Amino acid sequence: MIPVTGFEGRCVGVLGLGRSGLSAARALREGEAQVLCWDDNPAARETAEAEGFDIRNFARQSGFEGVDWLVVSPGIPHLYPEPNPVIAAAWDAGVPVDNDIGLFFRSLSAGGGWDMFDQPPRVIAVTGSNGKSTTSALIHHILQEDGRESQLAGNIGRGVLDIDPPVDGGVVVLELSSYQTDLARSLTPDVGVFTNLSPDHLDRHGGMGGYFAAKRRLFAEGGPDRCIVGQDEPEGRYLANQLSEGPTDDRVIRISSGRKLDGPGWNVFARKGFLSEYRKGRQVASIDLRDVRGLPGAHNHQNACAAYAAVRALGVAPRVVERALHSFSGLPHRSQIVAEAGGVRYVNDSKATNVDAALKALQAFPRIRWICGGLVKEGGLGGLQAGLGNVTKAYVIGREAAGFALGLSGVEAEVCTDMATAVAHAAKEAQEGEVVLLAPAAASFDQYDNFEKRGDDFAARVRETLGL
């Protein structure tokens, strides 16, 4: 645990008692703060009470009396589409609002003793729309392969305050969502990674501008020593330009998937299946990604570039990275191979909950039996068009399957509604050399609690259908 410092004897409210909220409450108590907790869910309140925490409904009159600080769980909206009433009340009471990420950076080095380290611990923070989890896990994997102490936390792995205090030369790898970067009052990573940007969570951020601004805070507020910035969208090129003092400023490492990056700076890009590192206009390393089974497709090659650049910023050798890439098995629900039978691969990419992520999955394989559908996000399905040429047939699930199928122009689409039917029909019709791919291009909440449940159902139906 990372004890939260700076609140000794002060009263801190915690709003939302999920994983991050309870973790923050425990870390605050460990740091000798007085903690008051609230969650609208009675079961969550009971769990907190069972751990000895005091409960207070901050929404009631004088709910913030005596409260010095409010820590909010990431799922609670603080501004758009409208402020949560408790957060609005905190504003009116003059109570600062923060989250567990802000507490982490505030407390990480506050305990003292860092002058005793030969190599001070480092923090790598990864944000962006797609690929954050794979990039973060891959960085963690490479560091472990290099024999370095590494912990994975944030939006993946453990809660950020649940990790152990880092050791000499240790690295903390954080995946940070826009919900987390938007509110944190302290953001001070040593290395910041921006993978890419595509429309997502727009209602939460008041549009694309607000969404990008939430991501940008990691760099503008945090001032990382090194910034790895994807260049495949205008926002990434804008951000790199804002952070750089000139074309040779190697504090900014530009990355891309699909095009060569020219210029005298520090560049890492993947093109035609090869990752290349260039510095001062000269190639210094190259890795063949085509046979790396855990990272199929251009979108995963971008993840490889981001992870490569992040660990190179810490001095990891290219040969170590290459070895680690081949031993990386990927993450569940992200281009995960769940079975192979009769020359057909079954791939679970349930995390592809938006059009951009699904498009990248479609572009990773040439002949696809595509299982898709769910709650379509803002912007519709038009952005999928560039990948539909790889689709042999679509099998549509979800409550609105018929409407979803109508949005797939030029593709044979069968309305299956449920996962069992979609998997059974796709498996029966699949030919050798094809891929049965779950890449929904939509949220899961019409049929499942989350994308993980959807991916697990896909894997279970595949095993059932194939008799595995």
Positions at the binding site for ATP = 128-134
Tokens of 248: 């040779």
Q: Sheet holding 34-38: strands in order across?
A: 54-55, 34-38, 11-15, 69-72, 97-98
Asked if residues 104 and 95 have their Cβ atoms less than 8 Å apart, the reply is: no
- CA–CA distance, 384 with 386 (Å, rounded to integer): 6
Distance CA 16, CA 411 (A): 44
In the three-class reduction of DSSP (H, G, I as helix; E, B as strand; rest coil), residue 43 is classed as: helix
Could you tell me whether strands 150-154 and 122-127 are parallel, antiparallel, or unpaired per DSSP bridges? unpaired
Residue with tokens 């996962």: 419
CA 189 to chain centre: 16
Q: Report residue 54 as tokens.
A: 């005091």
Asked whether the beta carbons of 463 and 420 are under 8 A apart, the reply is: no
Cα(43)–Cα(46) distance, integer angstroms: 5
> For tokens 């309140």, what's the residue?
45
CA distance 425 to 38: 47
